[in-house]
């Protein structure tokens, strides 16, 4: 089979090129095509089924034009990568002329976008192209305060859209830079993203995985400008990569302080099924202490208010859980347990601890981490207080909680419920 693939590829590529004949067709440049099967294997997958993986490199040479075409085949998709090799040498006379042109453009005080593009291509020709990191200050970024007003034209100056992979990356990056800004169908940014999506191979597994199988598509942030793609929500849930999404959100927390952006992300996480029944429940505990503190500080205005948490509660309460795609959306009480857990990471949130305790509804009968039904007895409450005192928390946090319990003994009951319920949620 592998040998037939190689022979077929050679015949196919040669058939698409004019045949060179030195005697009859001397005006045609000689074309050389070489096909190499770099790697072809047929292993068994975990289900005992045969998978076929192949990697073919096609090299071509026509006059001064050289290049390679790499084909990668897996069980899920075929990926094609083009590699161009430019061996042309710039003559000194032309080089001097180009350098002088560059100096004239650089001397202009108020440069247009065309001037910047011209300088960019001159640098490319001269081999002086800057590293993309040099453009980072001018490029759109997650920490931008008003990304919506960023000129779309500048995206084409500081980014590449040549390959499908480049466009996929930019679709995700730009959409996340614009979180918190609702995009209508006629919006310039919506048209830009729609055109980018329309230029992608939508039958490609990588496209589906990276553009559509993510919380942003699931929550509906593409709906206003991506109407021709309609993937069932539960199908999206099954393909979301928890680890990839966690790493992205970790970086988003580091780079962005935009409250509306975080709220939009969290609303998406709250409705996604899978990963212990709820994506939100799975991803929040993964965040390390510094990121947890920063996220919760953004949501609570530095530990002063729970208004935004109440907004998320209202969002959850407004979901129709009778619909199949929302059957396993987490209860609001579980969300408050997670917020209480985050609040105990730092004494910055001591002022809102009592508010979080008040939001938690104590209920008995769930199965604990020990496999028994929970009962809020005096014995269990005493054990919970001892357990909490042994937790790796700051003394200021512990003293604040014990002070609240002293003022309101009902909080001891809430603490016992919290410790058992949170532990059972994350078994």
pLDDT band at 67 (very low <50, low <70, confident <90, very high): low
The reported pLDDT for the residue numbered 326 is 82
User: pLDDT band at 344, cuts 50/70/90?
Assistant: very high
Kindly report the pTM of this predicted structure. 0.63
Number of other CB atoms surrounding residue 336 within 10 Å: 22
Closest CA to 279 of 215, 325, 226, 234: 215
Confidence of residue 17 (pLDDT cuts 50, 70, 90): low
Segment 397-408, tens digit of pLDDT: 999 999 999 999
User: What confidence tier does 30 reach under pLDDT thresholds 50, 70, 90?
Assistant: low
> Domain boundaries in the chain?
1-13+29-84, 92-149, 166-361, 362-426
Q: What percent of the chain has pLDDT over 90?
A: 19
Helix (H, G, I), strand (E, B) or coil at 403: helix
Averaged over 69-81, what is the pLDDT? 62
Q: How far apart are CA 233 and CA 179, in angstroms?
A: 20
pLDDT of residue 112: 64
What's the CA gap between 394 and 118, in Å, rounded?
A: 58
pLDDT at 20: 47
Q: Which of 297, 298, 266 is nearest to 283 (CA)?
A: 266
The larger pLDDT score, comparing residue 33 to residue 178, is at: 178
Sheet hosting strand 65-73, strand order edge to edge: 31-41, 53-62, 65-73, 78-86
Decide if pLDDT at 416 tops 70: yes
Chain centre to alpha carbon of residue 78:
23
**Which residues face 44 on adjacent strands?**
50
Say which residue, 188 or 108, is predicted with more confidence: 188
What's the rounded mean pLDDT across residues 415-424? 83
Q: How confident is the model at residue 351 (pLDDT cuts 50, 70, 90)?
A: very high
pLDDT value at residue 397: 94
Arithmetic mean of pLDDT, 352-361:
95
> CA–CA separation, 243 vs 262, rounded Å?
18
pLDDT for the residue 258: 87
State mean pLDDT over 84-97. 61
**Beta-bridge partners for 58:** 35, 69
In 272-347, which ranges are continuous DSSP H helix? Answer: 279-283, 289-299, 307-317, 332-343
Q: Please give the structure tokens belonging to residue 230.
A: 């309609």
Could you tell me which residue, 92 or 234, shows the higher pLDDT?
Answer: 234
Return the pLDDT at 302. 94
First to last CA, the chain: 48
Tokens at 170, concatenated: 């930019």
pLDDT beyond 60 at 19? no
The tokens describing 372, both together, are 């028994």
User: How far apart, in Å, are the Cα atoms of 357 and each of 254, 274, 290, 294, 377?
Assistant: 28, 28, 23, 21, 18
pLDDT of res. 73? 67
* Nearest by Cα to 84 from 97, 98, 66, 102: 66
DSSP string, 160-229: --SSHHHHHHHHHHHHHHTTTS---TTSHHHHHHHHHHHTS-TT-HHHIIIIISSHHHHHTTTTTT-TT-
Write down the mean pLDDT value for the chain: 78
Local confidence band at 32 (pLDDT 50, 70, 90 cut-offs): low
Computed over its alpha carbons, how large is the radius of gyration of the chain? Answer: 29
Under the banding of pLDDT at 50, 70 and 90, the label for residue 183 is confident
Say yes or no to pLDDT of 365 above 80: no
Residue tagged 């830079």 (tokens): 177
**Model confidence at 318: pLDDT above 70:** yes
Residues of 107-128 as b/e, b for ≥16 C-beta within 10 angstroms? eeeeeeeeebeebeebeeeeee
CA distance readout (Å), 220 to 191, 192, 332, 349: 16, 17, 21, 32
What pLDDT band is residue 140 in, cutting at 50, 70 and 90?
A: confident
Sign of CA dihedral 171, 173, 179, 181: negative
Local structure of 83: helix, strand or coil: strand
Mean pLDDT within 204-229: 75
β-strand partners of 66: 61, 85
Give the three-class secondary structure for 146: coil
CB count within 10 Å of CB 373 equals 9
Q: For the residues 205-215, what does the mean pLDDT come to?
A: 81
pLDDT band at 356 (very low <50, low <70, confident <90, very high): very high
pLDDT at 359: 96
For the stretch 285-313, pLDDT in tens is: 777 788 889 999 999 999 999 999 999 99
Give the pLDDT of residue 85.
54
More confident residue, 320 or 62: 320
Residue-wise pLDDT for 91-135, tens only, equals 666 777 778 877 887 887 776 655 665 676 677 666 654 544 444
State the pLDDT at residue 413: 92
Q: Residue 186: how many CA atoms within 13 Å on its side-chain side? A: 0
């Amino acid at each position: 089979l592998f040998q037939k693939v190689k022979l077929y590829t050679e015949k196919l590529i040669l058939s698409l090129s004019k045949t060179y004949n030195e005697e009859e067709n001397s005006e045609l440049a000689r074309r050389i095509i070489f096909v190499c099967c770099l790697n072809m294997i047929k292993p068994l997958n975990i289900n005992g089924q045969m998978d076929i993986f192949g990697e073919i490199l096609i090299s071509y040479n026509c006059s001064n034009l050289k290049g390679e075409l790499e084909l990668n085949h897996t069980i899920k998709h075929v990926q094609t990568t083009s590699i161009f090799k430019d061996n042309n040498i710039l003559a000194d006379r032309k080089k001097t002329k180009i350098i002088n042109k560059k100096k004239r453009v650089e001397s202009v005080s108020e440069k247009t976008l065309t001037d910047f593009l011209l300088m960019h291509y001159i640098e490319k020709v001269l081999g002086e192209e800057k590293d993309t990191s040099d453009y980072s200050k001018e490029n759109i970024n997650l920490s931008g305060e008003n990304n919506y007003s960023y000129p779309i034209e500048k995206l084409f100056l500081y980014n590449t859209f040549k390959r499908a992979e480049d466009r996929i990356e930019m679709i995700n990056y730009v959409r996340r830079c614009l979180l918190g800004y609702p995009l209508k169908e006629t919006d310039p940014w919506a048209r830009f993203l729609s055109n980018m999506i329309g230029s992608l191979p939508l039958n490609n597994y990588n496209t589906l995985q990276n553009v559509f199988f993510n919380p942003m598509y699931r929550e509906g942030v593409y709906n206003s400008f991506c109407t021709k793609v309609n993937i069932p929500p539960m199908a999206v849930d099954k393909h979301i990569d928890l680890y990839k999404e966690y790493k992205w959100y970790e970086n988003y927390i580091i780079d962005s302080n935009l409250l509306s952006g975080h709220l939009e992300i969290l609303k998406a996480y709250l409705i996604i099924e899978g990963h212990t029944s709820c994506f939100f429940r799975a991803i929040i505990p993964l965040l390390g202490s510094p990121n947890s503190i920063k996220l919760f500080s953004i949501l609570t205005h530095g530990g002063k208010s729970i208004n935004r948490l109440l907004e998320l509660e209202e969002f959850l309460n407004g979901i129709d859980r009778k619909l199949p795609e929302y059957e396993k959306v987490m209860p609001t009480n579980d969300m408050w347990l997670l917020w209480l857990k985050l609040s105990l990471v730092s004494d910055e949130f001591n002022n809102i601890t009592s508010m979080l305790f008040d939001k938690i509804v104590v209920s008995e009968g769930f199965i604990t981490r020990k496999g028994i039904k929970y009962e809020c007895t005096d014995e269990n409450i005493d054990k919970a207080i001892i357990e909490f005192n042994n937790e790796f928390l700051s003394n200021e946090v512990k003293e604040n909680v014990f002070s609240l319990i002293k003022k309101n003994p009902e909080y001891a009951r809430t603490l016992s419920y919290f410790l058992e319920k949170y532990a059972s949620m994350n078994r």
